[in-house]
Amino acid sequence: MSTMNTVGRPTAPNEGLDANYKPATLTGGRGLLQDEPLIFEGEGWGKTGVDLPKPANDGSDLGDLVRKDPIGLPGLSEPEAMRHYVRLSQKNHAIDLAVYPLGSCTMKHNPRLNEKMARLPGFSDIHPLQPQSTVQGALELMDQLAHWLTTLTGMPAVALSPKAGAHGELCGLMAIRAAHQAKGEHEQRRKVLVPTSAHGTNPATAAFVGYSVVEVAQTDDGRVDVADLAAKLGPDVAAIMVTNPNTCGLFERDILEISRLTHEAGAYFYCDGANFNAIVGRVRPGDLGVDAMHINLHKTFSTPHGGGGPGAGPVVLSEALAPFAPAPWVVNTGDGYKLVEREEDEAEQAFGRLCAFQGQMGMYVRALSYMMSHGSDGLRQVAEDAVLNANYIKARLEDLMSPAFPEGPCMHEALFDDEWLKGTDITTLDFAKAMIDEGFHPMTMYFPLVVHGAMLIEPTETESKAELDRFIEAMRLLAGAAKAGDVDRFKGAPFHAPLRRLDETRAARAPRLRWSAPEGSNRAG
Ligand SMILES: *Cc1c(COP(=O)(O)O)cnc(C)c1O
Side by side, which strands form the sheet with 414-417? Answer: 402-403, 414-417, 455-457, 444-445
User: Which atom, in ligand 1's list, is nearest to the CA of 167?
Assistant: 9
- In this prediction, residues 92-98 reach a mean pLDDT of 91
Distance between first and last Cα of the chain: 42
The predicted pLDDT at position 344 comes to 63
Please report how the helices 201-208 and 165-182 are oriented relative to each other, as an axis angle in degrees rounded to 10. 40
Assign 91 a pLDDT band (cuts: 50, 70, 90).
confident
- In this prediction, residues 122-147 reach a mean pLDDT of 96
| CB of 468 shorter than 6 A to ligand 1 | no
The predicted pLDDT at position 516 comes to 87
Mutate-to-test residue for ligand 1 from 100, 102, 104, highest number of ligand atoms within 8 A of CB:
104
User: Which atom, in ligand 1's list, is nearest to the CA of 311?
Assistant: 7
Q: Look at residue 23 and tell me whether its pLDDT is greater than 90.
A: no
Mutate-to-test residue for ligand 1 from 252, 296, 305, 460, highest number of ligand atoms within 8 A of CB:
296
State how far the Cα of 212 lies from the Cα of 238, in Å rounded to an integer.
10
3-state SS assignment for residue 373? helix
Residue nearest to atom 15 of ligand 1 (CA): 104
Q: Name the fold adopted by 376-497.
A: Aspartate Aminotransferase, domain 1 (3.90.1150)
Strand partners, 327: 353
- In this prediction, residues 9-15 reach a mean pLDDT of 63
From the CA atom positions of the chain, what is the Rg in Å? 26
Residue nearest to atom 4 of ligand 1 (CA): 165
Q: How does the average pLDDT of the chain come out, rounded? A: 92
User: Which atom, in ligand 1's list, is nearest to the CA of 169?
Assistant: 10
Residue pLDDT, tens place only, 199-236: 999 999 999 999 999 999 999 999 999 999 999 999 99
Residue pLDDT, tens place only, 472-503: 999 999 999 999 999 999 999 999 998 889 88
The predicted pLDDT at position 230 comes to 98
| CB of 243 shorter than 6 A to ligand 1 | yes
3-state SS assignment for residue 240? strand
Extents of the domains making up the chain: 115-370, 376-497
3-state SS assignment for residue 224? strand
Assign 24 a pLDDT band (cuts: 50, 70, 90).
confident
The predicted pLDDT at position 13 comes to 59
Mutate-to-test residue for ligand 1 from 272, 301, 447, 456, highest number of ligand atoms within 8 A of CB:
272
61 Cα: distance to centroid of ligand 1 (angstroms)? 45
Mutate-to-test residue for ligand 1 from 194, 199, 412, highest number of ligand atoms within 8 A of CB:
199
Q: Name the fold adopted by 115-370.
A: Aspartate Aminotransferase; domain 2 (3.40.640)
State how far the Cα of 331 lies from the Cα of 423, in Å rounded to an integer.
62
State how far the Cα of 458 lies from the Cα of 384, in Å rounded to an integer.
14
Q: Look at residue 313 and tell me whether its pLDDT is greater than 60.
A: yes
Write down how long the chain is.
525
State how far the Cα of 458 lies from the Cα of 468, in Å rounded to an integer.
11
Q: Look at residue 376 and tell me whether its pLDDT is greater than 70.
A: yes
State how far the Cα of 447 lies from the Cα of 201, in Å rounded to an integer.
13
Residue nearest to atom 5 of ligand 1 (CA): 165
392, 460 Cβ separation under 8 angstroms: no
User: In terms of Cα–Cα distance, which of 524, 525, 522, 515 is closest to 24?
Assistant: 522
The predicted pLDDT at position 122 comes to 94
Percent of the chain predicted with pLDDT > 90:
76
447 Cα: distance to centroid of ligand 1 (angstroms)? 13
417, 445 Cβ separation under 8 angstroms: no
State how far the Cα of 343 lies from the Cα of 10, in Å rounded to an integer.
72
Please report how the helices 465-483 and 361-397 are oriented relative to each other, as an axis angle in degrees rounded to 10. 50
| CB of 277 shorter than 6 A to ligand 1 | no
The predicted pLDDT at position 1 comes to 40
- In this prediction, residues 12-16 reach a mean pLDDT of 67
Any alpha helices (H) in 220-310, and if so which ranges? 226-232, 255-264, 297-300
User: Which atom, in ligand 1's list, is nearest to the CA of 198?
Assistant: 13
| CB of 201 shorter than 6 A to ligand 1 | yes
3-state SS assignment for residue 428? helix
| CB of 165 shorter than 6 A to ligand 1 | yes
State how far the Cα of 271 lies from the Cα of 239, in Å rounded to an integer.
10
| CB of 166 shorter than 6 A to ligand 1 | yes
Query: What's the angle, vertex CA 283, arms to CA 277 and CA 287, rounded to 5?
Result: 130
Q: Which is higher by pLDDT, 220 or 2?
A: 220
